[in-house]
Amino acid sequence: MRVIPGAWRRTAEGAGLLAADGSSRPTIFAEMSALAARTGAINLGQGFPDEDGPQEVLDAARAAIANGVNQYPPGRGIPDLRLAIAEHQLRFYGLRLDPERDVLVTTGATEAIAAALLALVDGPDDEVVVFEPYYDEYAACVALTGARLVTVPLAWPHFQPDLDALRAAVTDRTRVILVNDPHNPTGAVFSAEVRAEIVRLAEEADAVIVTDEVYEHLIFDEPHVPLATLDGAWERTLTISSGGKTFATTGWKIGWISGPADLVDAVLAVKQYLTYVSGAPFQPAIATGLRLPDTYFTDAAAALRSKRDILGAGLTAAGFAVSRPRGSYFTVADAADLGATDADAFCRALAESAGVVAIPLTAFVTAERRDRYRTLIRFAACKRVEVLEEAAARLSRLR
Ligand SMILES: *Cc1c(COP(=O)(O)O)cnc(C)c1O
């Protein structure tokens, strides 16, 4: 039997991370991927691309391995990747970072999120505000810190937070406001008004903003606005991104976190005991990616936008109500008009009835709020066009 420290165990149980017998549960993503494999269904569940990213980036990783870049790199990340990250923030957003002090390379955005929360939050008197539905790691990591998770709901179909609900959630106990923009699982991009209010509230509560912007380049209607660029935001904001989504290299796990040196140092203090360092040969490859011409980034967004449109049209034709995403890999659809009352059961049946696998939105919410999202489903659009077209054809038979 595994021994789990009591405090974490209680919080984890409260957050629904453990099964009733105290064992850890397979995530819904693993479960649904297994269902897809078993039934031969098209897997629009887990968000990973089924095509390789840019050749230059893949070649750079191969060259690094061939050239002996295979031992522990520096804990903060290789200098050239930190420089490339700083260049990228300046080129796209006008943000000026000191690559020596303001940037830390992590093992994916996943580690950056975990290390930031563990560095900034401590115990049950601290609160972390997150927008719900949320990337499932957020609740798990808040549970690991023992802090209280405070959620602000995002409502169908636009998934913008209500400003009064946001104001009510942020108090003097708030240590971190954890933002994800563009948003997984909903595809929402926060409005300028919401962004400004997040910064204002963080200042008022003296909280740190941790912002997960892994979909910064996968945005369809407007240029991405990092929260760190807003007036007054920089000194209290840690910005997280990753090469995984931007360069279709989700298996490489090269992420980064940037912000004021004192906050980055606090994250490094934790990171060094989580993973010590991150994948050496992938770091120069991601540096190569970050220096690709603008057309790479705009083409990647345009390609995903047209995939979103194919998926959206297929879902609409099948009888779903569809929320039009403004960024990210994902589209949320409402299955209520197809008779669904419970998206979890509907998704399990969909694998058999339509041969398509997707994820119920209830996988991204706390237990008390399941009802609000009970007929909503997340579909991933980051698949080859012919796969999406086949999925659309299969779904159309639902009618
Ligand atoms: C995929 C994803 C991550 C994880 O990124 P990695 O670099 O693979 O660790 C973090 N946040 C969100 C919102 C994601 O969708």
Cα 35 from Cα 31, distance rounded (Å)? 6
Q: Whose CA is nearest to atom 15 of ligand 1?
A: 184
Task: Give the pLDDT confidence of 117-157 residue by residue, as tens digits.
Answer: 999 999 999 999 999 999 999 999 999 999 999 999 999 99
Q: Is the pLDDT of residue 225 over 90?
A: yes
What mean pLDDT is reported for the chain?
94
Amino acid 57: pLDDT: 98
**Could you read off the pLDDT of 163-177 as tens digits, one per residue?**
999 999 999 999 999
Q: Which of 135, 154, 331 to mutate to test the pocket of ligand 1 (most atoms within 8 A of CB)?
A: 135
The residue contributing the CA closest to ligand 1 atom 7 is: 108
- Work out the average pLDDT over 182-187: 98
Please give the distance, rounded to the nearest whole angstrom, from the Cα atom of residue 29 to the centre of ligand 1.
Answer: 14
Ligand 1 pocket test: pick from 245, 274, 290 the residue with the most ligand atoms within 8 Å of its Cβ: 245
Provide the residue type at 239 as one letter: T
Which atom of ligand 1 is nearest the CA belonging to 113?
Answer: 10
In single-letter form, the type of residue at position 380 comes to A
Alpha helices, H only, 67-124: 79-93, 108-120
Q: Report the separation in Å between the CA atom of 272 and the middle of ligand 1, taken as the mean of its atom positions.
A: 20
pLDDT(222) > 60: yes
CA of 48 to the centre of ligand 1 (A): 10
Q: How does pLDDT run across 74-121, given as a tens digit for each residue? A: 999 999 999 999 999 999 999 999 999 999 999 999 999 999 999 999
> What is the reported pLDDT for 27?
82
Q: What is the pLDDT, as a whole number, of residue 56?
A: 98
**Atom 13 of ligand 1, nearest CA residue:** 184
Grade residue 397 by pLDDT with cuts at 50, 70 and 90. Answer: confident
DSSP 3-state percent helix, strand, coil across the chain (nearest 5): 45, 15, 35
Nearest CA to ligand 1 atom 5: 109
Q: Tell how far the Cα of 214 is from the centroid of ligand 1, in angstroms.
A: 6
- Cα-to-centroid distance, 40 and ligand 1 (Å): 26
- The best mutation among 113, 180, 184, 219 to test binding of ligand 1, ranked by most ligand atoms within 8 Å of the C-beta, falls on 184
Mean pLDDT of 44-52: 95
244 CA closest ligand 1 atom index: 7
pTM (2 d.p.): 0.95
Ligand 1 atom nearest to CA at 245: 1
Q: Could you tell me the distance, in angstroms and rounded to a whole number, from the CA of residue 133 to the centre of ligand 1?
A: 15
User: Is 386 buried (19+), middle (13-18) or exposed (0-12) by CB count in 10 A?
Assistant: exposed
Q: Of 362, 363, 335, whose CA–CA distance to 350 is shortest?
A: 335
Q: Which pLDDT tens digit goes with each residue over 236-275?
A: 999 999 999 999 999 999 999 999 999 999 999 999 999 9
Specify the pLDDT at position 1. 40
Pocket test for ligand 1, best of 85, 113, 189, 214 (most atoms within 8 A of CB): 214
Tokens 């909280």, located at residue = 207
Of 341, 321, 340, nearest to 331 by C-alpha is 321
**141 Cα to the center of ligand 1, angstroms:** 14
Higher pLDDT, 345 or 398: 345
Distance 339 CA to ligand 1 centre (A): 32
Give the residue-averaged pLDDT of 186-198. Answer: 98
Q: Ligand 1 pocket: which residues have CB below 6 Å?
A: 108-110, 135, 180, 184, 212, 214, 242, 244-245, 250, 253, 255
Asked if pLDDT for residue 19 goes beyond 60, the answer is no
Distance 105 CA to ligand 1 centre (A): 14
Cis ω before 223 (30° cut-off from 0) = no
Cα 228 to ligand 1 centre (Å):
19
For residue 59, CA distances in Å to 94, 282, 363, 398 come to: 29, 10, 37, 43
pLDDT score of 137: 95
Atom of ligand 1 nearest to the CA of 254: 7
Q: Write out the DSSP string of 275-310.
A: TSS--TTHHHHHHHHHTS-HHHHHHHHHHHHHHHHH
Distance from Cα 110 to the centre of ligand 1, integer Å: 6
Question: Could you read off the pLDDT of 319-368 as tens digits, one per residue?
Answer: 999 999 999 999 999 999 999 999 999 999 999 999 999 999 999 999 99
Task: Report which of residues 70 and 9 the model is more confident about.
Answer: 70
